[in-house]
Structure 1
């Protein structure tokens, strides 16, 4: 057994999980007290500096105390040897093991976080095989319990989900304002902090959407929209495929204000958009802006509205045509 693996073996034995072969290897190690003592002391010397010094001293003291009694504990009978091992290992490793499991950084306990920065998109396959496409300026989080009794993820922003069917483990998307529950289905969830509305659109299957004490069941081509200010949850019929155009680089808007459109374009293209005219903010637009870049999107908007724009590096300023200097 290598020095790298001995602590893992000790921990397995203490938990009662070691195999017969591993137990024999542990007995062999214990049979060489000097090596055992040396290995533990080296481990402690190299341990994380955040370990309390008093804990280290207690462990060193236990090592020295126990190794002076080696002959009275050792026996050729393996059962007696294991009794000795239990007596020896428990006091010597207790402090270290408590630290190992409760105080050292728990990397495996940390949630998994996937972020699509502004101007980017991300795609991820979850542990259950579900596929998720994450839109610009969005973050998806799930923890190590994801594939347990339920499959929960936490979303800030927008994502499209194709969920692997599992009737025993519901798939739940949590956002700040709405919760969407499904068994096996395809749907889009949008819940940006800066938007006045949060929504879910169903493409396949059925989902339950909950928000602020309200609840609705969606069928295919239905949308649930939660108004954050009014605290209302309403459902309506839509062409669901339009709402996942962003996956392919296209940008679709459904009767959204220029204020909302500006925030969306800012996220998608990682630019700053300013309004020179406040008259533009409440104006609305429905349609697809294509996938040819920010200039093409602004050209379409300017052709269908009283808006024109100017670009200064990564800053875009929107003007009302009535304010043009002739």
Structure 2
């Protein structure tokens, strides 16, 4: 969004000298300048009423000049080709967004053939243009990555950054908690001032600025791709939020449940069983009224 705003200011000539100098140093500036130059060539000439009148009067004294239809068609086609070219260039330069709605997964490939699977209620934004020189994306939620062999690859979140080179890993950033699990290769995790490197089978977690001890993973892949919701030392609101996303429901909580942390596994395809486990663990009554699911403190 910031880049689109800067582009608009530059095209309108509303940038200060400092802003313009900074904008001209960006990798995309050369392309923007070309698009602006090409667009300028497509502008219509200024309207001169007197000249048009004189032209009409003079034509009355001359034989009409017939312009072959094919020339008009060729000119129109040339303008159309240029316009389409500018459209596709601009489209490729705009950030691309991939989204997984609640109760759904979404899989896609990045320009370098790296494979990404988004967990429910997650989103990734990245740029296709210049990907080979800037292999970076922004994640909101959780995603599993199978990174193609090659240059450095970065995943940015609101809580931390993960840097990898040809590996498989899972990143989750929700509600103040940041989890990274490595299933192949090695990844570097940046969280605040802390930096750590983990390898296959290792995991690292932070919550509200503090590290959390978590067990090693099985090295196979994230549990949610196996229809299991695995939790380790999470609070009650986190469990409810994950169930809402995975089942696309809205659980109503009445009363104040226990503050105990939950470690365990819930099914991803059996909401009744999942709710029973949660209700039993936190000593809650499970009610269904008018199509609503209610967890009520006893």
The bucket for the TM-score relative to the shorter chain is 0.5 to 0.7
- The aligned counterpart of 2:256 is 278
Structure 2 residue runs without a partner (length 5+): 1-38, 53-74
Deviations 1:224-277 (CA, angstroms, capped at 9, x unpaired): 22333xx34567542255971111322111121111100111111111122212
Contact persistence 2:125–2:139 (CA under 8 A): yes
- 2:144 is the counterpart of 1:164: no
Q: In structure 1, what is the Cα distance between the partners aligned to 2:214 and 2:291?
A: 37
- Kindly report which structure 2 residues correspond to 1:52-63, keeping only aligned pairs within 5 A, or say none: 55-58=43-46
Q: In structure 2, what is the Cα distance between the partners aligned to 1:312 and 1:267?
A: 20
Deviations 1:28-87 (CA, angstroms, capped at 9, x unpaired): xxxxxxxxxxxxxxxxxxxxxxx99x94234999xx9xxxxxxxxxxxxxxxxxxxxxxx
TM-score (ref. length: structure 2):
0.68
- The aligned counterpart of 2:109 is 125
- The aligned counterpart of 2:292 is 315
Contact persistence 1:272–1:314 (CA under 8 A): no
Tell me which of 176, 182, 186 is aligned to 2:164: 182
Pick which of 143-152 and 174-183 moved more: 143-152
TM-score (ref. length: structure 1):
0.62
Structure 1 or 2, whichever has the larger Rg, is 1
Tell me which of 259, 263, 266 is aligned to 2:241: 263
Q: In structure 1, what is the Cα distance between the partners aligned to 2:291 and 2:124?
A: 27
Distance 1:234 1:317, change over 3 A: closer
- 2:95 is the counterpart of 1:107: no
Contact persistence 1:181–1:208 (CA under 8 A): yes
Aligned partner of residue 223 in structure 2, secondary structure: helix
Q: In structure 2, what is the Cα distance between the partners aligned to 1:236 and 1:186?
A: 19
Q: In structure 2, what is the Cα distance between the partners aligned to 1:214 and 1:276?
A: 39
- Matched residues, number: 232
Distance 1:261 1:236, change over 3 A: closer
Distance 1:314 1:191, change over 3 A: farther
- 2:175 is the counterpart of 1:202: no
Q: Cα RMSD (Å) of the superposition? A: 3.4
- Kindly report which structure 2 residues correspond to 1:22-37, keeping only aligned pairs within 5 A, or say none: none
Distance 1:268 1:291, change over 3 A: closer
Distance 1:59 1:130, change over 3 A: farther
Structure 1 residue runs without a partner (length 5+): 1-50, 65-88
- The aligned counterpart of 1:253 is 231
